[in-house]
Amino acid sequence: MAAGTTRFCAGIVSTARHVSLELKMADYSNKLYQQLEQETGVKTGYMKTGSISLAQTQDRLISLKRIASSLNVMGIPCEIITPKQVAQLHPLINIHDLVGAMYVPEDALVSSANVSLALATAASRNGVQIHERTSVSHVSVQKGRVTGVETDRGQIQCQYFVNCAGQWAYELGHSGEEPVNIPLHACEHFYLLTHPLKEPLASSLPTIVDPDGRIYIRNWQGGILSGGFEKNPKPLFTEGRNQLEIQNLQEDWDHFEPLLSALLRRMPDLEALQIMQLVNCPESFTPDMRCIMGESPTVRGYFVLAGMNSAGISYGGGAGKYLAEWMVNGYPSENVWPLDLKRFGTLQSSRTFLRHRVMEVMPLMCDLKVPRWDFQTGRQLRTSPLYDRLDAQGARWMEKHGFERVKYFVPPGKDLLDLDQSKTFYKPDWFDIVGSEVKCCKEAVCVIDMSSFTKFEISSTGDQALESLQYLFSNDLDVPVGHVVHTGMLNEKGGYENDCSIARLSKRSFFMISPTDQQVHCWAWLKNRLPDDSNLTMEDVTWKYTALNLIGPRAVDVLSELSYAPITPEHFPSLFCKEMSVGYANGIRVMSITHTGEPGFMLYIPIEYALHVYNEVMNMGQKYGIRNAGYYALRSLRIEKFFAFWGQDLDAFTTPMECGREFQVKLEKGMQFVGQEALLEQKQNGVYKRFTMFILEDHDTDADLWPWWGEPIFRNGRYVGKTTSSAYSYTLERHVCLGFVQHFDEKTGEELVVTTDFINQGEYEIDIAGQRFQAKAKLYPLSSLFTHRRRKDEVELSGYQRE
């Protein structure tokens, strides 16, 4: 027991997390550990010391204020304090370079080995058998399902297997009959232990986290325990040669020196301390700094919980709770998509990729993460055939599911270096660039390469495809050939497992377009639910098609000239799909949809024709003012039109009834589909949250902090929800935030139905890093205001109607 990396961890239980799900896990762990000793009789060393996160810069302080806003609305005590208050709470701390700090009084310390022992003791009392010093050779699988585990002491038959092997999870995943990819990689992690000081430190002194100094400091038996996350980490075991048990690795004082210097700067009175030991132990990290949990997409009953990124003791209790719920109920009690194993594909399992990525990830544990930052390693892995052409025209790239996507295009003559290094919580340097791309989308025509979309083809010899999809999707797919249906793929609770567009190519063939990061999740969901029928086939054709989004009022002119086909609304109505020639290329699937609410077309082009079609479109479009655009422009357009996107606004706990999409559900058609009962119940009883659009009123775009996502929403001074996405609307010349509003009884805290009147009759504020801005709430998007631009003071915000 407790033979993994968490056994050697610093034992700091901290709720100060950027991701709200991780924050909830840490809070649950803290409460669990607090009562563990009383429940089991095993001493856990639990001590509520509180923690202080230091800020040496204003940007760091803003980052802490954003976390503090989240903690406060979740009922976790937290305050932003001055350097003087830091000195009062921890007299040994040098405060001369601080601009402020965040104090979380209920953060705690534990002995991680003893917490493991207490949990194991409680489990044993409840009938769990624990076999120590037993190695697993492989997991047995039959017909895609776990059947047992082979160990050096014999076989154990089981229906469920949980890979909690920490830094060995990758190897164990690959040792089975059906490999399970678990992308993580170990790095050396150092911390220092000292003898007790002359005046031993009080056990109640708060833990210090100094991210700008890259270190943490806690009391340890009257002395100091201090470690950190250096800029030049040392990856371990890339070749897979792992010890069966973690032995203490070699001390490396030269490597630790920058962290030691930071410690002595922060606590200068420690010059005379006596060092007991420099501990060096492996710690596993994941490609996106978030832990990995959930069921394998390829093997039913094979679950994973690993890759804690040095926060194993903070997340352990909460992560265990969610995984247990997942296994028992089929789903956890929170949206865990940010941590789901299925957010990764096989492409993230390359050892070279993992080695390079963790060398970036470990320093990022302390680096300031401003909105829209991107990983720099493991890039240019999946690219569109147009990558080089777009790059040469000034494309600036971001990555989604390993796929390179354009953020925006830098015009000739702009200082590229300044733009690439621009990182801020305020108005970004790309503001005017994106504004000009949005203007072009509204007034002329733009091209956005959206090849990263997940694309499946589902077909059958008879009616099997239609019958199966009708049950698995909430909208009616029995439409005439050539029509496109926007539909949800719902779970039994009516929540969105996927939000997609499906085109009916023929009586027995369907083309399905999903978000980029749905490639693994959606495939696994459908594979597990489609009948095992040789006459029914599903193919992932993501790589076969380049997707170009032609947006704007002149898109119709460009396309009609290139295809010599009538593209008028009479011949090519909205949500229509037609196979056409564009230029010399045949077999282009053209859909009258842009995912933004603006007029235009999506072109799905066989990849061998991609460059030809792009060149033809750009050449023909010159006389119509065509230009390239990126995803930042798309984001602004879709948010001002109140379009929800899966993974940002929609998730497995969001239903069509909660986001104004009842019209996309076939409730009245007498057909059974997954999630139907839950939606009928909501239709009858009402919903407990509503997707709402907020327009910031008293917000100065140039001078104030921007909303990005995750900001608390207040109604009449009470917390009612969080924003899920936001963008500047270049049409309204204001910020627009999207988010969900809930209604709680003021006395009992009970959830109440959210009515239209409840939304419309409230006074709203959005909290951005502790500062609240007034906002107008709307349940339907503006339409009349998008036809022409008006000055801010002329904008009448009451003219909403359904698009």
pLDDT digits (tens, 9 = 90+) for 650-684: 999 999 999 999 999 999 888 999 999 999 999 99
Residue 675 has phi, psi (to 5 degrees) of 95, 0
Q: Kindly tell me if the per-residue pLDDT of 448 is higher than 90.
A: yes
Q: Kindly tell me if the per-residue pLDDT of 332 is higher than 60.
A: yes
Q: Which residues, at least 6 apart from 544, have a Cβ–Cβ distance to it below 8 Å? A: 455, 606, 607
Task: Give the residue carrying structure tokens 């390693």.
Answer: 377
Q: Kindly tell me if the per-residue pLDDT of 510 is higher than 80.
A: yes
Q: What's the pLDDT at 785?
A: 43
Q: Kindly tell me if the per-residue pLDDT of 515 is higher than 80.
A: yes
pLDDT band of residue 9 (cuts 50, 70, 90) is confident
Q: Which residues, at least 6 apart from 227, have a Cβ–Cβ distance to it below 8 Å? A: 10, 189, 190, 191, 192, 215, 216, 259, 279
pLDDT band of residue 566 (cuts 50, 70, 90) is confident
By percentage, how much of the chain surpasses pLDDT 70?
A: 94
803's tokens? 């698009």
Q: Which residues, at least 6 apart from 193, have a Cβ–Cβ distance to it below 8 Å? A: 220, 223, 224, 225, 275, 276, 277, 278, 279
Q: Kindly tell me if the per-residue pLDDT of 794 is higher than 60.
A: no
CA dihedral 70, 76, 81, 85 (to 10 degrees): -170
pLDDT digits (tens, 9 = 90+) for 526-560: 999 999 988 999 999 999 999 999 999 999 999 99
Q: Which residues, at least 6 apart from 534, have a Cβ–Cβ distance to it below 8 Å? A: none
**Cα separation of 117 and 130, whole Å?**
11
Q: For the residues 471-485, what does the mean pLDDT come to?
A: 97
Q: Which residues, at least 6 apart from 226, have a Cβ–Cβ distance to it below 8 Å? A: 191, 192, 215, 216, 217, 218, 259, 263
Q: Kindly tell me if the per-residue pLDDT of 799 is higher than 70.
A: no
Closest to 214 (Cα-Cα) out of 233, 194, 200: 233
Q: Is 458 within 8 Å of 502 (Cβ atoms)?
A: no
**Cα separation of 201 and 223, whole Å?**
6
Q: For the residues 382-393, what does the mean pLDDT come to?
A: 96
pLDDT digits (tens, 9 = 90+) for 388-418: 999 999 999 999 999 999 999 999 877 655 5
pLDDT digits (tens, 9 = 90+) for 490-508: 999 999 999 999 999 999 9
Closest to 191 (Cα-Cα) out of 9, 313, 4: 9
pLDDT band of residue 242 (cuts 50, 70, 90) is low
796 vs 132, residue with greater confidence: 132
Q: What's the pLDDT at 445?
A: 98
Q: Kindly tell me if the per-residue pLDDT of 1 is higher than 70.
A: no
Q: Is 456 within 8 Å of 546 (Cβ atoms)?
A: no
Q: Is 51 within 8 Å of 109 (Cβ atoms)?
A: no
pLDDT digits (tens, 9 = 90+) for 261-302: 999 999 998 777 788 999 988 899 999 999 999 999 999 999
By residue count, the chain amounts to 803
- Bridge-based pairing of strands 302-306 and 215-220 is unpaired
197 vs 99, residue with greater confidence: 99
Q: Which long-range contacts (CB under 8 A, 24 or more apart) does 433-436 make?
A: 433/408, 433/409, 434/408, 434/630, 434/632, 434/633, 434/636, 434/730, 435/730, 436/411
Q: What's the pLDDT at 177?
A: 79
Q: Is 521 within 8 Å of 432 (Cβ atoms)?
A: no
Task: Give the residue carrying structure tokens 């606590």.
Answer: 267
Q: Which residues, at least 6 apart from 305, have a Cβ–Cβ distance to it below 8 Å? A: 162, 163, 164, 291, 292, 293, 319, 320, 323
pLDDT digits (tens, 9 = 90+) for 697-714: 999 999 999 999 999 999
Q: Kindly tell me if the per-residue pLDDT of 93 is higher than 80.
A: yes
Other CB atoms within a 10 A radius of the CB of residue 108 amount to 26
Q: Kindly tell me if the per-residue pLDDT of 802 is higher than 50.
A: no
Q: Kindly tell me if the per-residue pLDDT of 4 is higher than 70.
A: no
pTM for the model stands at 0.93
Q: What is the DSSP string of 305-354?
A: EE--TT-HHHHHHHHHHHHHHHHHHSS-SS--GGGBGGG--GGGG-HHHH
Other CB atoms within a 10 A radius of the CB of residue 643 amount to 18
Q: What's the pLDDT at 791?
A: 37
Q: Kindly tell me if the per-residue pLDDT of 782 is higher than 50.
A: yes
**Cα separation of 623 and 613, whole Å?**
17
Q: What's the pLDDT at 414?
A: 73
Q: Is 658 within 8 Å of 687 (Cβ atoms)?
A: yes
Closest to 275 (Cα-Cα) out of 192, 216, 191: 192
Q: Is 588 within 8 Å of 544 (Cβ atoms)?
A: no
